Amino acid sequence: MSSSRPVRLLVIQLTRLGDTLQSLMALRAAKQLYPRLEIHFVARERFAAAAKRVPWLEGVVALPTEKILLPVLQSRKNGESRTVQEAARWLGPLVKHPWDLVVNWSYSESSSFLTGIVPGRVKLGYSRTVEQNRDGARQTKLTCPDGWSHYVQAVVQGGVHQNIHLTDVLTTQLLTALQIHFGEPADNGDAPVTSKSFFSLKPHTMADHDLGPRWRDRTKKWIAIQLGAGQAEKTWDPENWAELAREILCGHSEYGVILLGGKEDQERADAFRGRLPGLGYDPSAVVSVVGQSDFDLWASVVSRCQWLFSCDTAAVHLASVLGTRVLNVSVGPVRWTETGPYGNGHFVVASNTPCPACQDRDSGLVHACSKAVTPAAVYGAWSFAAHDAMFRNQTTLEHHFARLGVRSELDRVRIFRSRIRGATDGGGVVYDPLTSHPMQLSDWTAMVMGHIARAWYCGWVPPVGQELSRPRISPELVKKLRELDEASQVLSKVCEEATRTASTLNKRGSRLRSDKIMKIHDRDEIKGLGKQLQDLDSLIERLGEAQAPLHAFSQMARVLMHNLRGAQIAELGREGAACYQQLGEGVGILREWIKFTLNLAKPVAIKIEPLALVERL
Amino acid sequence: MDDDSKFDGGSMAADMTRLQGEVVGTIEQQESDLEALLLGFVRALLAENGLCPDPIAEIPPRDKESV
C-alpha cells in the first residue's frame, strides 16, 4: 500500500452464520494482501461468536436486535421514538470517526439503512441516501454504488443461475476496491486462507465437554454429521443419515461418527438413533453434541474431524474455513454453486431429477430432489472421495459405483468435486462434474453468467467455453441454444440502439442552458428520445421474460437504471449510454458462448485409415 | 463507488449525541436525513424479524431482499 497509515474498514454482516463465515474467509484473504487493514466487524448478536474468535479482527460489534426493539414491542404508541434512541445509542461509537471503507455484505433492508448512516469515504454494497421526491418530500432511496453489488442484486438475488461462489464475489469485490482506492497489495496472495487455526478458540473446550471415551480415541478418524438445516425443505431425513452412518461404521472400522446440531435438532437426533437398532447397529456407538450450541465446541469438533457431512448449513462454511473436507448433500431449493463448500476436494451430491417442489416453493409438494438422493448414492460418493487420491486416474466414479453394485444410483444424482482454479483460468472455486449427465440450460447459463461477470468487473476473462466438453452437450441443449441465438441477436441490436439513443440524449442535453426552460423543439426532441428509451427498456424486459438466460440482462438493466446518479439530462444520457453499452458487451459474450457451444456440438468427421488388406493389394 | 459520504464524522457524531439525549421529539417532528435513516433502520429490523406486518411500503418490490 502506498501509505503506512492503517486503512479503517467497517464490515456490516447482519445475515446468518453461514454468510458471516464466508465473509470472514474473504476478509482473511484481504488481510493477508493488505496487512495494514484495520477491520471492524458488525454482526447480529446471535452470530457474533465466530467473529469474536478471529484474532486479526480489530473489533467486533454485536447488533443487539432484541434490546433495540424492546421499547417498540412494549408500547407501539410511544415505543418507536425510544427504539430510535436505543438504536442511536448503539450506533454512537460507529459514527464517531469516518471510515476509510464501509462494506455492507448483508444485502438486506436494515443493513442498507445502517450503511447509509455510517460515515465512510468509500462504500460497497447496499446503502441509503435521502432524496427529495417529485412532490418535494424527503424519502430514503436504496442505492447500490458498485458493480459487484449490481450483480448481486440483479443476478444472485434476482434468481438468475450463475456459478461464481459468494465467497469469491465478496473477496473480488473487496480486493478490487482496495486496489483502486488504496493501492497495490503487499504480496501476490499465495498464502492459504483456510486453516485449522483460523479461530482462537477457548482453551480446554473439549475438556469442558466430556464427549466420552470413544471421542478420546485418537486412533479414530471422525465424520461429523450436521443433522438439520436452516429450512426444513433443505434437510435430508435423519433415517437416511443413520443408514449412511451404519454403512460407514460397519465397513470402515477406522471411522467414528459424531452428530452435530442445535437444540431444534434434538428430534432429528432421536430419529437418527432410533433407526440404528433396526439396522443392526448400537446407537451408543455414535457420539452426539446435538443441543450444545457453544461455538467453540462446535468449531473444535469440526476442526478435529476428517469429514463433515451436511446439507446446506453454516457447518459447510465452518468446515471450509477450518480445512475439514465436506460432503455436501444438496437437497431442496439450494444454489450450491454459490454457497457450497469452498476449497479443494470437497464433494457435492445433488439430485438429477427435476423437482416441482423446488420450482414452486409454496406448492406444498414433497421434494423429489430429496428422495432422489439415497444413502447408497451418498455412500458411493463418500467412499470414492475418501480414496480419491488412490483412485485418481485409475478408476472412474461410474466404475466405483458399478463395483459397489449401485450403478443405477448415478441416474438419479449428480456428483461434483470442488477445485480452486488457478488465477490464469479465472480463479475462484469450481465444481467439476464427476457424473456424465448432459448439461442443462441452467448449468450452461450459470457458466456464461460467471464469464460475463468477470468481463464486466475483473476486466480479464479466460477463453470462452473453457470448461465445456462435447459429451455434455445434448441435442436438447442445442435446440434451446438455437432459440436463444435468435432472441439474443434481437437483444444485442436493442442494446446498440439504446446506447445510440442515450448518447444522443447526452448530446442534446449538453447543448441546453437549462433542463427546465428550453425551446419547444428541444423539449419535444428530448421527450421523443425518452419515449424511445422507455420502449427499448420494455423490449429488453420482454426478451428477459421470454428467454431465461436473458433474464439477467433485463434485471441488470433495471438495477443500473435505478442507480443512475446524474441530476441533469446530459449526465443521465451519458450514464445511460454506458449502462446499455455494458449490457451490450454482456450480450456479445453470451452470443460468443452460443456460437462456441453450437460449433462444439457439430458432428465431427472421423478420418478412417485404409485397411491393411487394401494396402497389400 | 460512493467517493464521498453524505455525512462527515463530526456532525454525524453531534447529531447522534443529540439523538441519544433524553429530550427527543416525536418522530413526526424529526426531519433530518439522519433521523429518517434511523427510523428506516428500526422499521426494517422490525420487518426482518417478522414483527412488522407491513414491511416498508415505500421500497419498490425489486429492492426487497430475496435470499
Q: What is the CB neighbour count within 10 angstroms for residue A527?
A: 10
Q: What is the pLDDT of residues A598-608, one digit of tens each?
A: 999 988 776 66
Q: CA distances (Å), A585 to each of A158, A406, A496, A553, in order?
A: 20, 47, 10, 11
**Average pLDDT of chain B?**
53
A81·B27 Cβ contact <8 A: yes
A260's CB contacts (< 8 A; 6+ apart) are: A224, A225, A226, A227, A289, A290, A298, A301, A302, A315
More confidently predicted of B53 and A520:
A520
Q: Which residue in chain B is spatially nearest to A333 when comparing CA positions? A: B67
- Which pLDDT belongs to residue A404? 95
Which among A81, A119, A559 is the nearest to B5, CB-wise?
A: A119
What tens digit of pLDDT does each residue of A47-106 get?
Answer: 999 999 999 999 999 999 999 998 888 876 777 888 888 999 999 999 988 999 999 999
Q: What is the pLDDT of residue A462?
A: 85
Does B65 touch chain A if contact means CB atoms closer than 8 Å? yes
Whole-number Å distance between alpha carbons of A479 and B61: 34
Q: How confident is the model at residue A513 (pLDDT cuts 50, 70, 90)?
A: confident
Q: How confident is the model at residue A523 (pLDDT cuts 50, 70, 90)?
A: confident
> Which residues, listed in sequence order, are joined to residue A129 by a DSSP beta bridge?
A141
- Does the distance separating the beta carbons of B65 and A108 come in below 8 Å? yes
Per-residue confidence at A368, pLDDT binned at 50, 70, 90? confident
Residue of A87, A112, A122 lying closest to B42 (CB–CB):
A87
pLDDT tens-digit profile of A35-46?
999 999 999 998
Give residue-wise pLDDT tens across range A568-583: 888 999 999 999 999 9
Q: What pLDDT sits at residue B35?
A: 86
B40 closest CB neighbour out of A119, A140, A156: A140
Q: Which of B4, B45, B51 sits opposite A110 (nearest CB)?
A: B45
Provide the pLDDT for residue A159: 87
In this predicted structure, what is the pLDDT of residue B66?
30
Q: What's the rounded mean pLDDT across residues A7-30?
A: 95
Q: What average pLDDT does this structure show over A535-552?
A: 96
Mean pLDDT of B22-49: 69
CB contact under 8 A, A98 and B5: yes
Q: How far apart are CA A421 and CA A545, in angstroms?
A: 33
B48/A108 Cβ within 8 A: yes
Per-residue model confidence (pLDDT) at position B63 = 37
Report the distance separating Cα A144 and Cα A142, nearest Å: 7
> Given an 8 Å threshold on Cβ–Cβ distance, is B9 in contact with A119?
yes
Separate counts of helices (H) and strands (E) for chain A: 25, 15
As a whole number, mean pLDDT of residues A318-337 equals 95
Mean pLDDT score, A271-279: 93
For the stretch A250-264, pLDDT in tens is 999 999 999 999 999
Average pLDDT over residues A591-603: 95
| B12–A81 CB contact, under 8 Å | no
**Residue A177: which of B1, B35, B59 has the nearest Cβ?**
B1
| Closest to A383 measured CA to CA, from A288, A258, A194, A250 | A250
Contact A299, A201 (CB under 8 A): yes
Q: Is A184 exposed, middle or buried (0-12, 13-18, 19+ CB in 10 A)?
A: exposed
pLDDT at position A358 is 86
Q: Which is more confidently placed, A93 or B18? A: A93
Q: Is there a contact between A562 and B62 if contact means CB atoms under 8 Å apart? A: yes
pLDDT at B12: 45
| Bridge partners, residue A120, by sequence | A99
Nearest to A165 by CA among A511, A487, A426: A426
* Cβ distance of A140 and B6 shorter than 8 Å: no
Cell 459520504 belongs to: B5
Tell me if chain A has a CB within 8 Å of the CB of B7: yes
CB contact under 8 A, B27 and A84: yes
pLDDT at A482 exceeding the cut of 90: yes
Q: Is B14 on the interface with A (CB under 8 A)?
A: no
Q: What was the pLDDT predicted at A195?
A: 79
**Residue of A13, A14, A69, A84 to mutate, testing the B interface (most B Cβ within 10 Å of its Cβ):** A84
pLDDT (tens digit per residue) in A397-452: 999 999 999 999 999 999 999 999 988 888 899 999 999 899 999 999 999 999 99
Lowest mean pLDDT among A368-372, A383-387, B25-29: B25-29
Which residues, including other chains, have CB under 8 Å from residue A223's CB and lie 6 or more apart?
A: A245, A248, A255, A256, A257, A258, A305, A306, A307, A308, A309
More confident call, B61 vs A25? A25
Q: What integer best gives the mean pLDDT of chain A?
A: 90
Chain A interface mutation, best of B27, B28, B45, B51, highest count of A Cβ atoms under 10 Å: B45
Residue B29 has pLDDT above 50, yes or no: no
Could you tell me if A313 and A235 are in contact, meaning their C-beta atoms sit under 8 angstroms apart? Answer: no
Pick the residue from chain A with its C-alpha nearest to B66.
A157
A611 band by pLDDT with thresholds 50, 70 and 90:
low
Contact A123 B5 (CB under 8 A): yes
Question: A124 near A101, Cβ under 8 Å?
Answer: yes
Range of weakest confidence among A149-153, A368-372, B62-66: B62-66
Interchain pair B65, A157: CB under 8 A:
yes
What is the pLDDT confidence band of residue A365, given thresholds at 50, 70 and 90?
A: confident
- pLDDT the model gives residue B16: 46
CB of B16 within 8 Å of a chain A CB? The answer is: yes
Flag if A113 and B41 touch (Cβ within 8 Å).
yes
Q: Name the residue of chain A whose CA is nearest to B67's CA.
A: A157
Please determine, for residue A559, whether its predicted confidence score (pLDDT) is greater than 70. Answer: yes
Tell me if A109 and B2 make a contact (CB, 8 A cut-off). Answer: no
Reported ipTM: the value is 0.85
Determine the distance in angstroms separating the CA of A398 from the nearest CA of chain B, rounded to an integer.
Answer: 35
Average pLDDT on A485-513 reads 94
Chain B residues lying within 8 Å of A145, measured CB to CB: 1-2
The predicted structure's pLDDT at residue A72:
84
**Coil, strand, or helix at residue A44?**
strand
Counts for chain B of helices (H) and strands (E), in that order: 2, 0
Of A112, A127, A158, nearest to B2 by CB-CB distance is: A127
Q: Is the pLDDT of residue B27 over 70?
A: no
Helices (H), A458-515: 475-511
pTM tops 0.80, yes or no: yes
* Dihedrals phi, psi of A159, to nearest 5 degrees: 80, 15
Higher pLDDT, residue A418 or A355: A418
CA distance B30 to chain A (A): 10
| Residues in B touching A157 (Cβ below 8 Å) | 65-67
Is the CB of residue B11 less than 8 Å away from at least one CB of chain A? Answer: no
CB contact B38 to A (< 8 Å)? yes
Nearest to B24 among A85, A143, A180 (CB): A85
Q: Is a pLDDT exceeding 90 seen at residue A239?
A: yes
pLDDT digit string, tens, across residues A178-227 = 999 999 887 766 677 777 888 988 876 666 677 888 888 888 999 999 99
